[in-house]
């Protein structure tokens, strides 16, 4: 009876998917939150520390197109379940055996590899179940659950780091992917959508002879915009916890207090992203994809150019800035994903998401490493970084690219304003 009730309510099915994604993401920020603690014991420079997150992002970039292709040709639901259970095992392995830089690179890459199959297949399932007028909000809920998973990961990690060390932080966060796998499995028994977008749900288009050209232009611009978005977002996600911990330390906080404050400030950034994912997907349903993308990406770029220079200011000011930064950096995620489901012809969504994943997450994989290199170049060697501005400016270039691509999108790429 319980499963029958869930099958009859699409919102209940979506809730299982979202809570499953939340659990999967609980491991994602455990390393980023631990960077300040690990740099000394693991003998890492900023560049070396960035390679662990780069390995995670690169593995994710490699696996995403494969997961999308398999979901297109077999079953999105099967790929989702296999990836979720692999992710649970990978997270546990990372928590138990990552005790040096080299082992962390290998094991965190495996975590990134497994997470790929819980992303694009879920987008495909949602796109197949929700009509265009409600799809932005539904995908917004999915991506909001990811942001909330980041918040939970930072909160758990920060608390465990201050009280029991990084091993406890890793192990506490590893519980999440196991919970996610259970919830994804339950969602599979509650039915769901086909992976193809029904023709009846296809977005309004221009006259027939103009459709291929305009769709191709939209796909190209959305892919380039996604590259810029991923560069900014993944670079910021990897290094924001370390930055806000450094900002807390600059206010003369003790090491443990600075770690907790840094984790919670970074959590505020991702909590703002959670709010943005919920609201911007729905806003794009009503106001149009293009308009929301252009405004949010421009605000994110401005925040990237300024955020790194706030170190030394009161923590309340940094917290306010982090809230705006998180909202703008995450806000275009659901809109970009929704716009892609509308720009691609039915039956080709998996392949389109595969290409997008290679480009976007490939750029995002390099961003943490590039950020760390700029930190090393702009700070004295062998000392904790105190100058962060230029590294964040580098990320802001991606935001500018995303804003320009949104501005030049064809008007029909705005979705269906209501």
Separation CA 76–CA 117 (nearest Å): 9
Predicted confidence at residue 40, as pLDDT, reads 87
Q: What is the pLDDT of residues 373-398, one digit of tens each?
A: 999 999 988 777 889 999 999 999 99
pTM as predicted: 0.72
Q: What Cα–Cα distance (Å) separates residue 382 from each residue in 45, 47, 141, 297, 396?
A: 8, 12, 43, 35, 27
Question: What DSSP designation does 204 have?
Answer: P
Distance of CA 221 to CAs 19, 290, 394, 400, Å? Answer: 31, 11, 21, 13
Spatial CA neighbour of 112 closest among 268, 234, 250, 245: 234
Per-residue pLDDT tens over the stretch 321-333: 989 998 999 898 8
The DSSP symbol for 384 reads: -
- The 8-class DSSP code of residue 130 comes to S
**pLDDT for res 416:** 42
Give the per-residue pLDDT at 209: 44
Report how far residue 143's alpha carbon sits from residue 141's, in angstroms, rounded to the nearest whole number: 6
> At 348, is the secondary structure helix, strand, or coil?
coil
Low-confidence residues of the chain, pLDDT below 50? 192-210, 413-418
Residues contacting 218, CB < 8 A, separation 6+: 339, 343, 409, 410, 412, 413
Residue with tokens 């060697």: 381
Give the pLDDT confidence score for residue 6 in this predicted structure. Answer: 55
């Amino acid at each position: 009876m319980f499963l029958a009730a869930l099958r009859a309510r699409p919102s209940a099915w979506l809730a299982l998917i979202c809570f499953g994604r939340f659990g999967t993401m609980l491991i994602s920020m455990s390393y980023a939150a631990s960077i300040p603690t690990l740099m000394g014991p693991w003998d890492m420079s900023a560049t070396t520390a960035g390679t662990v997150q780069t390995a995670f992002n690169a593995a994710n970039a490699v696996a995403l197109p494969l997961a999308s292709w398999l979901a297109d040709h077999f079953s999105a639901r099967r790929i989702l379940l296999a990836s979720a259970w692999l992710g649970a095992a990978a997270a546990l392995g990372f928590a138990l055996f990552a005790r040096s830089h080299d082992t962390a690179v290998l094991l965190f890459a495996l975590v990134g590899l497994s997470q790929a199959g819980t992303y694009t297949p879920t987008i495909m399932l949602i796109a197949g179940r929700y009509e265009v007028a409600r799809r932005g909000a539904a995908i917004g809920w999915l991506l909001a659950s990811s942001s909330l998973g980041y918040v939970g990961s930072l909160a758990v990690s920060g608390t465990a780091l201050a009280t029991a060390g990084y091993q406890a932080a890793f192990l506490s966060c590893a519980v999440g992917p196991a919970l996610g796998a259970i919830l994804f499995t339950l969602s599979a028994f509650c039915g769901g959508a086909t992976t193809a977008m029904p023709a009846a749900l296809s977005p309004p288009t221009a006259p027939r002879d103009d459709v291929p050209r305009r769709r191709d232009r939209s796909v190209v611009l959305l892919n380039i915009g996604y590259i810029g978005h991923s560069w900014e977002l993944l670079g910021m996600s990897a290094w924001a916890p370390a930055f806000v911990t450094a900002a807390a330390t600059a206010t003369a906080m003790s090491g443990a207090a600075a770690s907790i404050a840094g984790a919670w400030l970074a959590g505020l950034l991702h909590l703002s992203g959670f709010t943005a994912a919920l609201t911007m997907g729905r806003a794009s349903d009503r106001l149009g994809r293009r308009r929301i993308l252009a405004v949010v990406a421009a605000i994110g770029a401005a925040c990237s150019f300024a955020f790194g220079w706030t170190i030394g200011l009161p923590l309340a000011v940094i917290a306010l800035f982090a809230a705006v930064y998180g909202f703008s950096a995450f806000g275009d995620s659901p809109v970009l994903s929704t716009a892609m489901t509308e720009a691609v012809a039915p039956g080709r969504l998996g392949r389109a998401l595969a290409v997008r994943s290679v480009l976007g997450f490939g750029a995002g994989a390099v961003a943490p490493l590039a950020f760390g290199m700029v930190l090393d170049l702009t700070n004295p060697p062998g000392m904790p970084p105190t100058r962060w501005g230029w590294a964040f400016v580098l990320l802001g270039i991606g935001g500018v690219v995303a804003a320009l691509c949104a501005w030049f999108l064809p008007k029909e790429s705005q979705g269906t304003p209501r």
